[in-house]
Amino acid sequence: MENEQNFLDQMENLKVPDVDTTPHQQKIKITIMNAERSAALGVWLIAVPCFFLFCVIMYYAFHIKSSWFGAMYKLVTGLSKNPYIDFLAPVVLLILPMITIIINTLAITHVHYEKRTISQLKYSELNITVKIKWLNILLILISLTILLILLSFAMTENISIQN
């Protein structure tokens, strides 16, 4: 019984170490967007541009004259003829892949800026961390490919019109 009381007294008189939590709170990496949600949103955002490019490639490259491919191409060209909704084709084909790139990049990238002082030497440190989430990276690459294809198409059309 005496040993037990001795033990309890020792435990009550122990000094608890002080922990400074401020550096840890500063280093918490907060993601701007959730990687899984941005990947799901990215799939929906690039589905229409991918389907359009697929239809155009099947229609022109492989000369498949299916009604689906021709209808998609006629729909997009018809959008540009109507003055009230002529902005939809650039939004669908350019803006949606750009949004996909932005949200997926924000989802996998963490940036941490810190000012430090060590032995009277002041310096700043910028840490950029990229989480490897393959679906997000794949969506970024697909969106970049869509934008490069459309940009190259616009450039070649502009060159062919001038000549």
pLDDT in tens, 42-100: 999 999 889 888 887 887 788 777 777 777 777 777 777 878 887 887 788 899 999 99
Domain that holds residue 123: 32-156
In a domain, 15, yes or no: no
Specify if 78 maps to a domain: yes
Q: How confident is the model at residue 161 (pLDDT cuts 50, 70, 90)?
A: low
The pLDDT value given to residue 54? 85
Answer whether residue 161 is part of any domain.
no
Return the axis-axis angle of helices 67-81 and 35-60, rounded to nearest 10°.
100
Q: Is residue 104 domain-resident?
A: yes
Residue 68 lies in a domain: yes
Whole-number pLDDT of residue 139: 95
139 occurs within a structural domain: yes
Domain tally, the chain? 1
Q: How far apart are CA 107 and CA 155, in angstroms?
A: 31
pLDDT tops 70 at residue 40: yes
* Global pTM value: 0.70
Tokens 């892949």 found at: 97
> DSSP per residue over 77-103, as a string?
HHHHHSTTTTTHHHIIIIIHHHHHHHH
User: Can you give the pLDDT at residue 20?
Assistant: 65
In a domain, 27, yes or no: no
**Residue 60 located in a structural domain:** yes
For the cut 60, the answer to whether the pLDDT of residue 27 exceeds it is: no
* High-pLDDT (> 90) share of the chain, %: 22
Count of Cβ atoms closer than 10 Å to residue 8 Cβ? 10
What are the φ/ψ torsions at residue 125 (nearest 5 degrees)?
-130, 130
